[in-house]
Amino acid sequence: MFDRLLGRPLPGQRAPEPRRANPDAVVDCAVYVGGRREPGRPHYADAYARSRRGRDTFVWLGLHEPDPAVMAAVGRTFGLDDLTVEQALADGHRPTVRREGDVTLLVLRTARYVEHAELTDTSEVVDTGDVMVLVGDRFAVTVRHGAAGALTCVRADVEQRPAVLAQGPWAVAYAVCDRMVDLYLEVAGHVERDLERVEEAVFARDRSADIQHIYQLKREVVEFKRAVQPLQAPLRSLLDQRPDNPPRGLHRWFVDVDARLTRAVDRVAAYDDLLNSIVQSRLAQLAVEQNNDMRKIAAWAAIAATQTGIAGIYGMNFTNMPELHWRYGYPTVLGLMALTAFALHRLFRRSGWL
């Protein structure tokens, strides 16, 4: 009894193994049995061992920007090949689906809208990252890079749907795809409001829109488009009836995600086309404004040239010049210069040059 109080094993008993803690890169780790989460947050190695012993059981490990040591240990635990581990450590991947043995790698781009008071030539409108979903027979590992696309709410939402989780690890892939497409549509709504403000500024009377601001929004929309559009082909490849694709119970859910992704792609493509039109319109406006400025400069130069010509003639100081010794010659020449300037000004105003 004394040994038990001190925490030491009694004679003939084995010392209990120390409880392992998950690395800091692990956001969450859970075992799901029949679509329901088991209590606790075990170490991913213990959770995977538990999932392999049970029926209708799998483990979902969530990682955020793991370092090489952590990812290498995860790869050894779940039997991932070296190329998959190397890809999981890097960010900026294009959306794709790749299969290595019994493991399917699904890469998606994340996106979030960055709030800003006004659009400038350095404004960040859309922040992107990526998330990888590794789907095996008894596990799903999600690896996220970047601040966008947090999966905590994804796990919380899908845990309220045990019928979906009962479909196995592919339910995690569906939940992540569903969340990413929802984010695409949400970001598209915010970008649409920015486009409306830019369009109003371009076609307003004062035309206060700066071409650099429009180009910055164009770059952000292009980045958003690169995150959304390439996902269509990989997602549709998951709808084929293949043994290594999602089970039939999730097919209609993936069809719904694909339909919403198509809507998001169409909206982003329309925004890109609209921005191209806005840029061309603004460039045309700038060309017209420059032409108007040149006409004004030319008109004022013509008015100034007549005064310079008259003053130049009388500045020659020849002896026999007309009205040189006339008493009213000086005011008459000044009046002629003023009358000429007034007549030319009226003429240029009537023609729209001034």
Q: Which long-range contacts (CB under 8 A, 24 or more apart) does 49-58 make?
A: 51/138, 51/139, 52/138, 56/166, 56/168, 57/31, 57/32, 57/33, 57/138, 58/31, 58/32, 58/138, 58/139, 58/140, 58/168, 58/169
Binned at pLDDT 50, 70 and 90, residue 207 comes out as low
Asked if the model's pLDDT at residue 92 lies above 90, the reply is no
Q: What is the pLDDT of residues 110-132, one digit of tens each?
A: 999 988 877 777 778 888 889 99
Mean pLDDT is lowest, of 158-172, 268-282, 293-307, 312-326, for 312-326
Among 347, 252, 235, which Cα is nearest to 299's? 347
Strand order in the sheet with 57-64: 36-37, 26-33, 57-64, 139-145, 126-135, 103-113, 96-100
301 pLDDT band, cuts 50/70/90, is confident
Q: What is the pTM of this model?
A: 0.77
> What is the per-residue pLDDT for 323?
65
Contacts of 274 (CB under 8 A, 6+ apart): 195, 199
Q: Output the pLDDT for position 142.
A: 94
Q: Is residue 166 a contact partner of residue 34, using CB atoms and an 8 Å limit?
A: yes
The pLDDT value recorded for residue 6 is: 38
Domain coordinates in residue numbering, the chain:
12-285, 287-351
Q: What angle do CA 263, 265, 271 make, to 5 degrees?
A: 105
Class in CATH terms, 12-285? alpha beta
For 279-303, the DSSP string reads HHHHHHHHHHHHHHHHHHHHHHHHH
User: How far are the Cα atoms of 59, 183, 194, 258, 277 from residue 263, in angstroms, in the given order?
Assistant: 33, 13, 19, 9, 21
Distance spanning both ends of the chain, measured CA to CA: 105
Residue found under tokens 């164009």: 218
pLDDT average, residue stretch 195-206: 79
Name the nearest CA neighbour of 61 among 121, 138, 8.
Answer: 138
Q: Model confidence at 209, in pLDDT bands (50, 70, 90)?
A: low
Q: What angle do CA 153, 135, 72 make, to 5 degrees?
A: 95
How long is the chain?
354
The predicted pLDDT at position 40 comes to 87
DSSP string of 47-73, one letter each residue: HHHHHHHSSSEEEEEEEES--HHHHHH
Instruction: Please report where in the chains the tokens 């409108």 appear, as a residue.
Output: 125
Place 9 in a pLDDT band, splitting at 50, 70 and 90. very low
Enter the tokens of residue 210: 């700066």
Helix count and strand count (H, E) for the chain = 11, 7
Query: Is residue 258's pLDDT more than 70?
Result: yes
pLDDT digits (tens, 9 = 90+) for 263-299: 999 999 998 888 888 888 777 777 777 777 787 888 8
- Determine contact, residues 333/315, Cβ cutoff 8 Å: no
> In Å, what is the CA distance from 75 to each residue of 37, 53, 86?
23, 20, 10
The CA distance from 150 to 257, in Å, is: 18
d(CA 173, CA 60): 10
Q: What's the gap between Cα 234 and its chain centre? A: 19
pLDDT category at 17 given cuts 50, 70, 90 is very low
Please give the CATH topology (third level) of the domain spanning 287-351. Methane Monooxygenase Hydroxylase; Chain G, domain 1 (1.20.58)
